[in-house]
Amino acid sequence: MPEKLRVGVIGLGLIGSLHARILAEAPHAQLVAVTDISSKTAKEFGDRYSCNYYTDFKKMCDEEALDAVCICTPDEFHMENAIHAAQKGFHLLIEKPLARTEAEARMIVQAADSAGVRLMVAQLLHFDPRYVKVKEAIHEGRIGDIIHMFFKRTNPRTNGRRLGGKVSIFHFIGVHDIDMMCCYAQSKPTRAYCRRVSKINADIGCEDTIMAIVDFESGAVGTVELCWALPENSALGINTYAEVVGVDGAGYVNIMDQGVSLITKDQVIYADILNWPEYNGRILGDLKEELHHFISATQNNQPYLVDTENAITAVKVIEACFQSIETGLPVAIL
């Protein structure tokens, strides 16, 4: 493997633009090429980072000598992008959710395995020190057998409206919490019951709030509350909470303001200090940690910190939640 991991980014929207910037600034990576179906966006990033640019990801994969690709397209393209890139021999960093269904996720894994390439799902919370501290305490046995878990994530309505009802709150924000809940549980989820409320997002056929209860084989139970209905001018960009109670202890993550608030003429802002904050002219935070981990673990053939099977389990839980919303009944997770 060359000294610098040669990477291409597919999809240059909210998250792909950050991937591109972090890779362009990373000392051990080279942003070789980018793709976006918008020719204007593709050119803008190509010019900004002096790299090649494409509007067709297959052309990029065919023409460029890459070691890896970051797949940052909307969920419905992950499978097509991943299978093609894997067949070209490129390692894969795929934005969450890995796919919309377990069946799609398994096809991606199979393509990666048959091509002999490695795959990491970009589950950001595994690079968030707050969630990782609790994960480590659980996995070291300091919390004991899990009794219950509670995960909550409340966002302004901006993202749901921006995505126009094309993506469920589960796949956009909830998969973070469900993946981490399954990781904390260290046990197979067996059943999900889910309720949905849609008032302000009813016009785009999308939920405002979701509440799910998930049973685990170990006897533990987990609750997930997701909402993206707060007014647009809400100061709370990231408002999340996690609680895990075990027979020997408990762990808590509580994120509202992150220790800094800004009051300006128009707005009060609780600034993001951890996910992808920019200060002193640089991007820092969890996303940078995640990408740097991917670069270094790929170059050195070390294990990735994100468990792909756990990420697939999260997708399965979400599928059961959708079924439960339809039927109004608890749904077994097989």
Ligand X SMILES: NC(=O)c1ccc[n+]([C@@H]2O[C@H](COP(=O)([O-])OP(=O)(O)OC[C@H]3O[C@@H](n4cnc5c(N)ncnc54)[C@H](O)[C@@H]3O)[C@@H](O)[C@H]2O)c1
- Of 22, 8, 75, 7, give the one whose Cα is nearest residue 285: 22
Phi (first) and psi of residue 157, to 5 degrees: -75, -5
Determine the residue type at 320.
Answer: A
Cβ-contact 18, 283 below 8 angstroms:
yes
CA 203/CA 268 separation, integer angstroms: 28
* Shortest reach from residue 286's CB to ligand X, in Å: 8
Cβ-contact 122, 97 below 8 angstroms:
no
**Token pair 């935070």 is at which residue?**
285
Q: x/- string (CB under 6 A) for ligand X, residues 83-102?
A: ------------xx------
Q: Per rule CB under 6 A, is residue 23 in the interface with ligand X?
A: no
Cβ atoms within 10 Å of 20's Cβ, excluding its own: 25
50: tokens are 């002096």
Q: Which residue is nearest to ligand X (CB)?
A: 13
* Shortest reach from residue 188's CB to ligand X, in Å: 25
* Shortest reach from residue 40's CB to ligand X, in Å: 10
> Contact with ligand X (CB under 6 A): which of 16, 174, 246, 251?
16
Cβ-contact 146, 185 below 8 angstroms:
yes
CA 59/CA 55 separation, integer angstroms: 8
> Contact with ligand X (CB under 6 A): which of 31, 122, 314, 318?
122
* Shortest reach from residue 242's CB to ligand X, in Å: 16
Q: x/- string (CB under 6 A) for ligand X, residues 166-185?
A: ------x-------------
Q: Per rule CB under 6 A, is residue 302 in the interface with ligand X?
A: no
b/e sequence 265-280, b meaning 16+ C-beta within 10 Å:
eeeebbbbebbbbeee
> Contact with ligand X (CB under 6 A): which of 12, 79, 112, 143?
12
Q: Per rule CB under 6 A, is residue 289 in the interface with ligand X?
A: no
> Contact with ligand X (CB under 6 A): which of 1, 2, 38, 282?
38
The residue range among 9-17, 142-150, 248-256, 295-303 that interacts with ligand X, by the rule CB under 6 A, is 9-17
Q: Answer whether the bond into residue 277 is a cis peptide, omega within 30°.
A: no
> Tell me, what DSSP letter sits at residue 11?
-
> Contact with ligand X (CB under 6 A): which of 77, 150, 241, 322?
77
* Shortest reach from residue 74's CB to ligand X, in Å: 5
Q: Per rule CB under 6 A, is residue 74 in the interface with ligand X?
A: yes
Beta bridge partners of 239: 154
Residues in contact with ligand X by the rule CB under 6 A: 10-16, 35-38, 41, 57, 72-75, 77, 95-96, 122, 124, 172
